[in-house]
Homo-oligomer: A and B are copies of this chain.
Amino acid sequence: MLKCPDMLVNPPRSQPRYRRLADALQQAIGESRYAVGSTLPGELELMSRYRVSRHTVREALRCLAELGLISRNRGIGTVVTAREPSSAHVQKLGSPAGWMRYAEDSRLEVIGNEALRVDAELARRLECRRGAPWRRVTALRRMRADRVLIGWSDIYLPEAYAGVVGAMGRRAGRVYELIESRFGARVARVEVEVTADLFDAQRASALGVPVNSASLCVTRRYRDASGQVLLLSQTHHPAERFTYSFDLLRGGDGSAWLAA
């Protein structure tokens, strides 16, 4: 976090200027320097105080508004509405397809790639025979927008499909789509399981979260039309960085709940 405004003039490479200003203001709000219900300095004053353009101020304020920390209105000013954001990243699902959509807002960074012969436990999960040749790829999942790491993925695919590993994280497209286009396979069904887990030391270290902190664990098993497993990916999201959310609407007859 920033200690003085002029550091915005020559920002480090990793963060855009508006993001730094947003962080500074967010910290001020978190420390109750601006209490909930109070008004932030206006755009013109923030410009001169932090020595950035009005555009940059507005982008920063927009970030805070999207986090629900402030509310902005003409003639009134910028009012603090919350002291802290509710969650860092809320993956708005919208529809069942939303469980497949998170890949578009984030990218894979492959950190491991090993060939293996599946043992009994893994054979059960992959529904293949023991000793079959598979490939395990480990990858971090990073948000495109603000570079925050949101997950650790373990991805299993048959050795016959190992050719797509080079393209993972380098080419657009989800892993199953890479397999489909490269090998002519066809995913017909995805089984999704949602549960919770604890981060072990390796995963915690890679993501920068405490060991044994809570992870939201989402497992997707991809099957072709004959029911064979083509791909299995398991992603652990740090609980304080990633939340799935969706709305259910009442059906017309009042009894059913439908995806919004």
Residue numbers of A with Cβ under 8 A of B are 36, 68, 71, 73, 76, 79, 81-83, 86-87, 89-97, 99-101, 104-105, 120-121, 124, 144, 172, 187-198, 212-217, 237, 239, 242-251, 256-260
Contacts and interface: CB of A to CB of B under 8 A. Distances in A.
Given A81-B101, A251-B92, A245 B192 contact: yes
Given A96-B258, A249-B87, A260-B87, A243 B104 contact: no
Given A73-B144, A198-B214, A215-B214, A95 B96 contact: yes
A8 B121 CA distance: 32
Given A92-B256, A96-B96, A86 B194 contact: no
Given A189-B247, A189-B248, A214-B215, A257 B195 contact: no
15 contacts: A68-B92, A81-B101, A82-B124, A93-B259, A96-B96, A97-B257, A189-B260, A191-B248, A192-B248, A193-B243, A193-B245, A196-B214, A196-B217, A198-B214, A217-B239
Nearest to A130: B36
A251 B245 CA distance: 22
